[in-house]
Amino acid sequence: MWVVWVHGSLYGGSLGFGVVLACRKGGERPGVPRALFLPSFLPFALPQPFRLPSLAPWLCPAALCWLLGAVTPTHSLQVSPLPGAACKTPMEGEPTLRLRIFDLNCWAIRYLSKRRQERVRLIGDTLRQEGFDLVLLQEVWSEQDYSDLKVKLAGCYPFSHYFRSGVIGSGLCVFSRFPILDTLLYQYSLNGYPYMLQHGDWFGGKSVGLVIMKISGIIFNVYITHLHAEYCRDKDAYLPHRLVQAWELAQFIRHTSKAADLVLLGGDLNMHPEDVGIRLLRGWTGLRDAFAEATHFEGCKNGCTLVPNNCFTDKSELLPFPLGIRIDYILYKAISSFTVKCEELKTTTGPAPGMDIPFSDHEAVMATLHIQRQGQPAGATLGTADLALADVVTEARTEVGVGLRAAQRQRYSSGRMAVLALLLLLLQAVAALGTLAGLGTEQPFPKLSFCLLAFLALGVLVLATGLHLFHTMEVKMLHGTEDQMWMALRALQERPSEG
Amino acid sequence: MWVVWVHGSLYGGSLGFGVVLACRKGGERPGVPRALFLPSFLPFALPQPFRLPSLAPWLCPAALCWLLGAVTPTHSLQVSPLPGAACKTPMEGEPTLRLRIFDLNCWAIRYLSKRRQERVRLIGDTLRQEGFDLVLLQEVWSEQDYSDLKVKLAGCYPFSHYFRSGVIGSGLCVFSRFPILDTLLYQYSLNGYPYMLQHGDWFGGKSVGLVIMKISGIIFNVYITHLHAEYCRDKDAYLPHRLVQAWELAQFIRHTSKAADLVLLGGDLNMHPEDVGIRLLRGWTGLRDAFAEATHFEGCKNGCTLVPNNCFTDKSELLPFPLGIRIDYILYKAISSFTVKCEELKTTTGPAPGMDIPFSDHEAVMATLHIQRQGQPAGATLGTADLALADVVTEARTEVGVGLRAAQRQRYSSGRMAVLALLLLLLQAVAALGTLAGLGTEQPFPKLSFCLLAFLALGVLVLATGLHLFHTMEVKMLHGTEDQMWMALRALQERPSEG
């Protein structure tokens, strides 16, 4: 909470002086001074001292970002070089490896998510007790939450990484029992619109994070991501952006995983299992869905991860899906001479054990993978399904094309608006100069409305220019993706003739 | 050139009507109508009809982008599936391969670069005559120039790719005699500031493009890039951004080249050979500098590519470097069981043969590489130079840290400015409400200045908020890079103890 106190006093009836004291209760955020003194000369009259309790700083996007954790301590996330007491040991040196993975969208938005701190503590406690091998978390927007988890989990998961991106962050972090050798972040080129403040995805800088690990001599490329949310399934304005993200994700995985023995992807993909984006991702990378492949499953029906039973979900949004929807995934494939099987897949089902609340508005996905150093890679079925894949790529390309045309229209409208505003401003300038030069003897317009109009035109010019630039970038990226998909289609079509 | 005609007429003294006709001479840009009619009701009086020849559209960034080629035809860059008559054939099937590479920063900025069209034609003619195997071009900002080159070079270089990015584009394109199998674009997370309009790098969406090719069974990962320019060497405000780009470039190459036999990088790196960024890039990727390795060299002294003799270079900028500077590079390494040698390196030296002008303000770099399928990879000297590399990473990390602190200061200042503007607005709102509610009987301030102040505050709020968001992203990315470099340092320090 912020408390703001403003005191003003008159100087000659036209100047005021204000001192603002902003301070936060509690010391939750190191690195930010607990009190900020912002003295300022305010060049107008203050009829009386004001008191403005609770200044509602979320009205201002800058303050919003600040609150959501944009201001964070400078130092963090130093991975401890030596592991502490690991909770469990995999069968090192043996020909098989059993890997337990935990994936959860934590819904930890500072000041907005319900019972956030309690839930983050709960998640930390459970992770410590359960002792997974690898933990993939999304929507950990506050670096403070990450740091708290890091401290709590230092014994059990000595290695971790937090991916920074965008204004608020990527929200992505990884905890691991095994050393992290290297990381790489790829920020999606499209991610919604900055002016859609109510959705806010743009500010999150959605990305895919890559973490490289070596477990028992096996090289793992672990990818974690969170794609753009779907706010209205019937008329999904963000579908082209999500498809570009799915494509970039698939391309990034393909191009960076060539030296890996095993590829894992976990995250909130914001796509239903049969959506074109996930078919594209699965088809283009050869990744397999742990839910579909699991020998044993336990959890919400159909593996749903956003269910009406969860006390934090928006029931009205899930009305068309009485069982819920499955949008959180663990996907995997073996690349070199390894086989990987999903022995068991579980989801949480509402409240955490012994608690009255669940971990998040999403259910967690937990997979147990069984990896063996023998046989041919099981994921190499790409060639046989080329025709089906070409259909998927064509479908995705069509949707990207629809988005491209919409973006072109928006770019044109905003460009026209900017030009009109510029013309209006120029006309006003000419009119004002004409009046000053004494061309018109009387003034044909009231000064106040003339000034207001000029400011309006300036505002429209700045806004429309910004929009034009943004939509120009959008067009470029959609166009580039369309081209890449075309190239992929050509490669798919040429493949049989080559073989 | 644009011609804009505005005609206004009075309606009751407070409404005007304007019709704008904008048209371009020549039909150089398909996809854009040659005439745009923009009717608009302008809600203020027009004392007389105006004539505004040459509206100076470069005043408005949107128009700038438009002119620079942001509005481009929707269809382009379809790679022809079958090559035409290739100019020369490499020794296919034989154990050695000779590859001729051409790299040039074309300086083809629409309406700003001198004699652009003439030079692009000249570049096209020369490339067709010379018949290189691979051509890497930067600063081809206009897609129309790319399309023209593509048409002209279709016979000799049947495969090509243009990388789209940012507002204006990435300016990067590749022409090849051999099929392009796949492409990937990585946009650098930091690239200057949008408000530095006079530099304009931000609008270019600087990136690294990856093109994958298979030549005589050898897999080539070809990277092309153009890093942020250096405008003032003594006080280089963009050094941290360029270092982040160099780091991301190195990381991208490392992570995407693991299945390649050969890695090539060409481009304008905007760094002198001994700058920390290029040492970091070379050290972290193991890439070797074609100029340093070449058996035979011919061209400008010290391999300089920005020389005072060139009629398009800014002589005053090169005063401290009478011979010029070397900022354009071809780098390479072999990854698997291949060896690669640079037989010959050439640069152009001013005017093109038989012409009075050079290709560009940069000199072109031309390398002949000799690739053999035998022996151990020659680039695998990374382990022996770990200590020196650690020093380079430390040096780069220090510079990134300096940039981080500057960005944090700017974020703080812009955030404070936004908060102050918001307070001013709120105070004004309260004062206005107080006056309306009749609390103060007389009005203590003139209406006009009150309104002007409100607009000023609103403008400052919007601007400062935008800056705050931008610098927050900057801080995140600099911070993330600092972390990654720290991780790299740790890996370097631990390596000897592991071996």
| B62 contacts A183? CB cut-off 8 A | no
| B423 contacts A40? CB cut-off 8 A | yes
Q: Nearest by CB to A251, which of B79, B184, B465?
A: B184
| A62 contacts B418? CB cut-off 8 A | yes
What pLDDT, on the 0 to 100 scale, is given for residue B349?
92
Strand-pair partners of B39: B19
| Averaged confidence pLDDT in chain B | 79
Identify the helix (H) or strand (E) that includes residue B37. Answer: strand B35-42
Whole-structure pTM value: 0.78
The residue from B241, B362, B468, B471 that is catalytic is B362
- Higher pLDDT, residue A87 or B358: B358
- Of A97-106, A145-154, A407-416, B231-240, the range with the lowest mean pLDDT is B231-240
- Of A100-104, B14-18, B328-332, the range with the lowest mean pLDDT is B14-18
Q: Which residues of A touch B167 (CB under 8 A)?
A: 469, 472-473, 476
- Pair B203, B209: CB distance under 8 Å: no
Min distance A369 CA to chain B CA atoms (Å): 25
| A79 contacts B423? CB cut-off 8 A | no
Q: Which residues of A touch B180 (CB under 8 A)?
A: 487
pLDDT in tens, A390-400: 888 898 899 88
Smallest CA-to-CA distance from A217 within A332, A337, A366, A85 is with A337
| B13 contacts A166? CB cut-off 8 A | no
Smallest CA-to-CA distance from B335 within B427, B430, B218, B165 is with B218
% of chain A beyond a pLDDT of 70: 77
Select the residue from B41, B189, B214 to test the A interface by mutation, using most A Cβ atoms within 10 A. Answer: B189
Q: Which residues of B touch A445 (CB under 8 A)?
A: 13-14, 44-45
What pLDDT, on the 0 to 100 scale, is given for residue B419?
95
Select the residue from B213, B468, B494 to test the A interface by mutation, using most A Cβ atoms within 10 A. Answer: B468
- Of A381-390, B264-273, B349-358, B450-459, the range with the lowest mean pLDDT is A381-390
pLDDT band at B376 (very low <50, low <70, confident <90, very high): low
What pLDDT, on the 0 to 100 scale, is given for residue A388?
81
What pLDDT, on the 0 to 100 scale, is given for residue B148?
95
Chain A: residue whose CA lies nearest to B159: A487
* Contact residues, A window 97-136, toward B, CB-based 8 Å cutoff: none
pLDDT band at A443 (very low <50, low <70, confident <90, very high): low
According to DSSP H, which parts of B298-385 are helical? none
The residue from A161, A362, A468, A471 that is catalytic is A362
pLDDT band at A69 (very low <50, low <70, confident <90, very high): very low
Chain A: residue whose CA lies nearest to B460: A459
pLDDT band at A95 (very low <50, low <70, confident <90, very high): low
Over range B381-388, report the average pLDDT: 62
Tell whether A25 is within 8 A of chain B (Cβ).
no
What does the alpha-carbon distance between residue A168 and residue A68 come to, in Å, rounded to a whole number?
7
Min distance A426 CA to chain B CA atoms (Å): 9
Min distance B316 CA to chain A CA atoms (Å): 33
Smallest CA-to-CA distance from B255 within B340, B335, B138 is with B335
Over range B311-335, report the average pLDDT: 93
pLDDT in tens, A157-206: 999 999 988 888 899 999 999 999 989 999 998 889 888 888 888 888 89
Q: Which residues of B touch A453 (CB under 8 A)?
A: 43-44
- Pair A254, A315: CB distance under 8 Å: no
Over range A122-132, report the average pLDDT: 94
pLDDT in tens, A221-270: 999 999 999 988 888 889 999 999 999 999 999 999 999 999 999 999 99
Give the sheet arrangement for strand B365-372, strand by strand.
B159-162, B173-176, B134-140, B96-108, B365-372, B339-347, B296-298
Over range B229-237, report the average pLDDT: 88
pLDDT band at A436 (very low <50, low <70, confident <90, very high): confident
Q: Which residues of B touch A183 (CB under 8 A)?
A: 484, 487
What pLDDT, on the 0 to 100 scale, is given for residue A493?
80
Q: Nearest by CB to B251, which of A184, A426, A476?
A: A184
Q: Which residue has the tokens 């204000």?
A: A18
| B462 contacts A47? CB cut-off 8 A | no
What pLDDT, on the 0 to 100 scale, is given for residue A439?
67
| B169 contacts A476? CB cut-off 8 A | yes
Over range A112-116, report the average pLDDT: 92
pLDDT in tens, B287-307: 999 999 999 999 999 999 999
What pLDDT, on the 0 to 100 scale, is given for residue A87?
35
pLDDT in tens, A194-211: 888 888 888 888 999 999
Chain B: residue whose CA lies nearest to A247: B184
pLDDT in tens, B77-86: 222 333 333 3
| A469 contacts B203? CB cut-off 8 A | yes
* Contact residues, B window 389-408, toward A, CB-based 8 Å cutoff: 404, 408
- Of A68-72, A107-111, B230-234, B289-293, the range with the lowest mean pLDDT is A68-72
What pLDDT, on the 0 to 100 scale, is given for residue A316?
87
* Contact residues, B window 191-210, toward A, CB-based 8 Å cutoff: 194, 203, 205, 210
| B476 contacts A165? CB cut-off 8 A | yes
* Contact residues, B window 132-171, toward A, CB-based 8 Å cutoff: 163-167, 169
Tell whether A448 is within 8 A of chain B (Cβ).
yes
Decide: helix, strand or coil at residue B244: helix
| A428 contacts B469? CB cut-off 8 A | no
Tell whether B65 is within 8 A of chain A (Cβ).
yes
What pLDDT, on the 0 to 100 scale, is given for residue A235?
86
* Contact residues, A window 78-97, toward B, CB-based 8 Å cutoff: 78-79, 81
- Pair A465, B70: CB distance under 8 Å: no
Q: Which residues of B touch A480 (CB under 8 A)?
A: 163-165, 185
Most confident residue range from A38-42, A284-288, B437-441: A284-288
* Contact residues, B window 217-256, toward A, CB-based 8 Å cutoff: 251-252, 254-256
Chain B: residue whose CA lies nearest to A251: B184
% of chain B beyond a pLDDT of 70: 77
| Averaged confidence pLDDT in chain A | 79
What pLDDT, on the 0 to 100 scale, is given for residue B389?
85
Over range A269-290, report the average pLDDT: 94
Min distance A98 CA to chain B CA atoms (Å): 25
Tell whether B461 is within 8 A of chain A (Cβ).
yes
Select the residue from A19, A244, A263, A472 to test the B interface by mutation, using most B Cβ atoms within 10 A. Answer: A472
Over range A63-72, report the average pLDDT: 42
Select the residue from B17, B55, B167 to test the A interface by mutation, using most A Cβ atoms within 10 A. Answer: B167
What pLDDT, on the 0 to 100 scale, is given for residue B441?
55
* Interface predicted TM-score (ipTM): 0.76
* Contact residues, B window 418-437, toward A, CB-based 8 Å cutoff: 418-420, 422-424, 426-428, 430-431, 434-435
Tell whether A473 is within 8 A of chain B (Cβ).
yes
Tell whether B211 is within 8 A of chain A (Cβ).
no
What pLDDT, on the 0 to 100 scale, is given for residue B1?
31
| B52 contacts A426? CB cut-off 8 A | yes
| A439 contacts B47? CB cut-off 8 A | yes
B362 among known catalytic residues: yes
pLDDT band at B166 (very low <50, low <70, confident <90, very high): confident
pLDDT in tens, B413-457: 999 999 999 999 999 999 888 888 876 556 667 777 888 888 889
Tell whether A52 is within 8 A of chain B (Cβ).
yes
Over range A434-459, report the average pLDDT: 79
- Higher pLDDT, residue A378 or A442: A442
**Secondary structure string (H, E, C) spanning chain A:** CEEEEEECCEECCCEEEEEEEEEECCCCCCCCCCEEEEEEEECCCCCCCCCCCCCCHHHCHHHHHHHHHHCCCCCCCCCCCCCCCCCCCCCCCCCEEEEEEEEEEEEECCCCCCCHHHHHHHHHHHHHHHCCCEEEEEEECCHHHHHHHHHHCCCCCCEEEECCCCCCCCCCEEEECCCEEEEEEEECCCCCCCCCCCCCHHHHCCEEEEEEEEECCEEEEEEEEECCCCCCCCCCCCHHHHHHHHHHHHHHHHHHCCCCCEEEEEEECCCCCCCHHHHHHHHHHCCEEHHHHCCEEECCHHHCCECCCCCCCCCCCCCCCCCCECCEEEEEEECCCCEEEEEEEEECCCCCCCCCCCCCCCCCEEEEEEEECCCCCCCCCCHHHHHHHHHHHHHHHHHHHHHHHHHHHHHHHHHHHHHHHHHHHHHHHHHHHHHHCCCCCCCCCCHHHHHHHHHHHHHHHHHHHHHHHHHHHHHHHHHHHHHHHHHHHHHHHHHHHHC
- Of A183-197, B49-63, B110-124, B246-260, the range with the lowest mean pLDDT is B49-63
What pLDDT, on the 0 to 100 scale, is given for residue B31?
35
| B74 contacts A404? CB cut-off 8 A | yes
Q: Which residues of B touch A418 (CB under 8 A)?
A: 60, 62-63
